[in-house]
Chain A
Amino acid sequence: MSDLLLDIKGLTKAYPGVVANDDVSFSIQKGEVHALLGENGAGKSTLVKMIYGLVRPDKGDMQLKAATFAPQEPRAARASGVAMVFQHFSLFDALNVAENIALGMENPPKQRELAKRITEVSQAYGLPLDPTRMVGDLSAGERQRVEIIRCLLQDPSLLIMDEPTSVLTPQEVEVLFKTLRKLREEGTSILYISHKLEEIRAICDAATILRRGKVVATSDPKTASARELAELMVGSTLHQPERATQELGDVMLEVNDLSTASASPFGTSLKSINLKVRKGEVLGVGGVAGNGQDELLAALSGESLSSANSVIIDGNPIGNLGPNDRRHIGVLSAPEERLGHAAAPDMSLTENALLTGSKRENLAENGFINWGKTREFAEKIISDFDVRTPGPSHVARSLSGGNLQKFVIGREILQRPEVLVVNQPTWGVDAAAAADIRQALLDLAAAGTALVVISQDLDELMEISTNFAALHHGHLSETRPCKGLTVDEIGLMLGGADAAA
Chain B
Amino acid sequence: MDLSAINPLVLITTLMIAATPILLAALGELVVEKSGVLNLGVEGMMITGAICGFAIAVETGNPAIGMLAAMVGGAMLSLIFAFLTQILLANQVATGLALTLFGLGLSSLLGQGYVGVKPPSTPKIEIPLLADLPIVGPVLFQHDMVVYFSIFMVVVIWATLKYSRLGLVLRAVGESHDAAHALGYKVVRIRIMAIMFGGAMAGLGGAYLSLVRVPQWVDGMTAGAGWIALAIVVFASWRAGRVLLGAYLFGGVTILQLNLQAAGVNLPVEYLSMSPYLITILVLVIMSAKGGRAALGAPAALGRVFHASS
Contacts and interface: CB of A to CB of B under 8 A. Distances in A.
A47 interface: no
A436 interface: no
B176 A92 contact: yes
A265 B172 CA distance: 19
A271 interface: no
A99 B294 contact: no
B268 interface: no
B116 interface: no
A66 to B, nearest CB: 25
B183 A104 contact: yes
B182 interface: yes
B7 interface: no
A95 B171 contact: yes
Contacts of A136: 294
A92 B179 contact: yes
Given A73-B184, A90-B183, A102 B168 contact: yes
Contact of B175 (A94, A265, A266): A94
A264 B165 CA distance: 30
Contact of B168 (A55, A75, A89, A103): A103
Which of A73, A92, A93 has the largest number of chain B CB atoms within 10 A? A92
- Interface size on A, as a range, is 20 to 34
Contacts of A55: 310
Contacts of A4: none
A108 B183 contact: no
Contacts of A99: 168, 172
- Interface size on B, as a range, is 20 to 34
B172 A92 contact: yes
Q: Secondary structure at chain B's binding surface: helix, strand, loop or mixed?
A: helix
Interface string B142-165: 000000000000000000000001
A74 B172 CA distance: 16
Nearest to B186: A73
B291 A265 contact: yes
A95 B175 contact: yes
Contacts of A49: 310
Contacts of B185: 103
B218 interface: no
Interface in B164-218: 165, 168-169, 171-172, 175-176, 178-180, 182-185
Given A54-B310, A73-B184, A103-B168, A89 B175 contact: no
A103 B183 contact: yes
Contacts of B134: none
Nearest to B308: A54
A95 B182 contact: no
A93 B297 CA distance: 11
A99 to B, nearest CB: 6
Contacts of B179: 89-92
A53 interface: yes
A104 B293 CA distance: 26
Interface string B272-292: 000000000000000000011
Nearest to B301: A92
Contacts of B171: 92, 94-95
Contacts of A265: 291-295
A93 B176 contact: yes
A462 B204 CA distance: 65
B184 A108 contact: no
B79 interface: no
A88 B183 CA distance: 12
Contacts of A177: none
B182 A266 contact: no
B300 interface: yes
Given A102-B168, A103-B172, A265-B294, A75 B182 contact: no
Given A54-B310, A75-B184, A90-B182, A95 B292 contact: no
A108 B165 contact: yes
A125 interface: no
A95 B294 contact: no
A266 B294 contact: yes
Interface in A120-137: 136
A99 B176 CA distance: 14
Interface in B251-288: none
Contacts of A94: 171, 175, 294, 297, 299-300
Interface string A37-65: 00000000000010001110000000000
Contacts of B293: 265
Nearest to B176: A92
Contacts of A92: 171-172, 175-176, 179-180
B300 to A, nearest CB: 6
B183 A74 contact: yes
A69 interface: no
A53 B184 contact: yes
Which of A90, A264, A266 has the largest number of chain B CB atoms within 10 A? A90
Interface in A71-89: 73-75, 78, 86, 88-89
Which of B179, B184, B292 has the largest number of chain A CB atoms within 10 A? B184
Nearest to A78: B184
A91 B168 CA distance: 13
Contacts of B292: 264-265
B175 A93 contact: yes
A78 B182 CA distance: 12
Nearest to B291: A265
A54 B175 contact: no
A55 B181 CA distance: 12
Interface in A258-309: 264-266
Contacts of B297: 94
Contacts of B291: 265
A93 B169 contact: no
Nearest to A89: B179
Contacts of B168: 95, 99, 102-103
B85 to A, nearest CB: 19
Which of B169, B293, B294 has the largest number of chain A CB atoms within 10 A? B294
Given A49-B310, A53-B184, A103 B176 contact: no
Interface string B45-88: 00000000000000000000000000000000000000000000
Contacts of A93: 175-176, 294, 300
A88 B184 CA distance: 15
Interface in B113-136: none
21 contacts: A49-B310, A54-B310, A73-B184, A74-B183, A89-B179, A90-B176, A91-B176, A91-B179, A92-B171, A92-B180, A93-B176, A94-B171, A94-B175, A94-B294, A94-B299, A95-B175, A102-B165, A103-B183, A104-B183, A264-B292, A265-B292
Interface of A: 49, 53-55, 73-75, 78, 86, 88-95, 99, 102-104, 108, 136, 264-266
Closest 3 CB pairs of A and B: A74-B184, A90-B179, A90-B182
Given A86-B182, A91-B179, A102-B168, 8 more contacts: A74-B182, A74-B184, A90-B176, A90-B179, A90-B182, A92-B175, A92-B179, A103-B180
